[in-house]
């Protein structure tokens, strides 16, 4: 019997649609579309995100999402989003454990260990920096005590000019992202997909574009950002799914926090 993924692939090909066309239309990465047609749903983000990606793909090839999602639930490939009522029973999905899953679990554990080591090194470095600053402050304080005060003739006749701080200039769009919670994200810079997938809490990344950024989010309140060095407004609420956030050189100020100019 032909698998669900192979059946969908045949339907798509009969309609003359390519995966690249669907990716451009839906903003879903090619590797996610290939995973659906190869029956490798384990490569998708999981849970709600898997259902949304699968639903969007089905609509793009002209199929009814409700009927196909039911088939995937009956096959145990995705979980049902219908809450279980009192006394009712919901079939448990069949587990498909593969060797590559064990490999990715091992990689995840190694990444977690590396992350803990980096935090430890960061804390140690911070302590050393604090001690160095304290030592420098003590040295400066001693120097101030030893140096004699200048005579009136050595005092400047005019008020010392304040140093001018040059504001950093940016070319194009410079987006710095900090993930405060786990968040699925896609970022297109000038039409090219540069960030794609589930990012864990604490992850940071930067994106540069000449004129346009397109962002899709699965947890709009789970991250903060700066745009051209200025703090940005929240994209949305925690857990909210938002697609096609478009930032250009003309509208970038709409995404920035208002500046407070105290008099």
Does the pLDDT at position 85 exceed 50?
A: no
pLDDT average, residue stretch 51-68: 90
Q: Which residues contact 232 (CB under 8 A, 6 or more apart)?
A: 224, 225, 226, 255, 256, 257
pLDDT average, residue stretch 115-131: 84
Nearest to 9 by CA among 40, 30, 33: 33
Site of tokens 């993924």: 5
pLDDT, position 150: 56
In sequence order, what DSSP letters do the residues of 219-237 get, joined into one string?
A: SGGGEEEEETTEEBPP-S-
Q: Does the predicted model carry a pTM greater than 0.85?
A: no
pLDDT, position 185: 95
Give the chain's length.
263
Side-by-side strand order, sheet with 192-199: 192-199, 183-189, 212-217, 242-248
Mean of per-residue pLDDT scores for the chain: 82
Measured at the alpha carbon of residue 39, what is the angle toward residues 187 and 196, in degrees to the nearest 5?
Answer: 10
Exposed / middle / buried, residue 121 (Cβ in 10 Å: 0-12, 13-18, 19+): exposed
The whole-angstrom separation of Cα 54 and Cα 41 is 9
| pLDDT tens digit sequence for 174-230 | 999 999 999 999 999 999 999 998 899 999 999 999 999 999 998 889 899 999 999
């Amino acid at each position: 019997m032909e698998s669900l993924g192979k059946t969908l692939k045949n339907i798509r090909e009969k309609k003359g649609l390519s995966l690249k066309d669907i990716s451009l239309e839906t903003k879903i990465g090619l590797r996610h579309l290939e995973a659906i047609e190869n029956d490798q749903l384990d490569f998708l983000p999981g849970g709600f995100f898997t259902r949304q990606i699968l639903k969007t793909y089905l609509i793009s090839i002209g199929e009814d999402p409700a009927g196909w999602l039911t088939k995937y639930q009956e096959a145990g490939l995705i979980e049902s989003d219908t809450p279980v009522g009192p006394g009712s029973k919901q079939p448990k999905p069949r587990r498909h454990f593969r060797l590559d899953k064990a490999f990715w679990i091992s990689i995840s554990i190694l990444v977690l260990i590396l992350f803990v080591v980096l935090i430890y090194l960061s804390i140690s470095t911070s302590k050393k920096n604090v001690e160095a600053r304290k030592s420098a402050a003590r040295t400066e304080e001693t120097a101030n005590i030893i140096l004699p005060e200048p005579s009136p003739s050595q005092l400047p006749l005019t008020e010392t000019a304040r140093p001018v701080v040059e504001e950093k200039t940016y070319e194009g769009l410079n987006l710095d992202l900090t993930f405060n919670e786990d968040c699925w994200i896609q970022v297109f810079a000038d039409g090219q997909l540069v960030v794609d997938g589930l990012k864990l809490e604490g992850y940071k990344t930067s994106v540069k574009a000449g004129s346009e950024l397109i962002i899709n989010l699965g947890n709009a309140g789970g991250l903060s950002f700066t745009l051209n060095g200025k703090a940005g407004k929240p994209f949305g609420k925690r857990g909210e799914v938002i697609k096609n956030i478009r930032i250009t050189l003309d509208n970038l100020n709409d995404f920035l926090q208002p500046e407070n100019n105290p008099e």
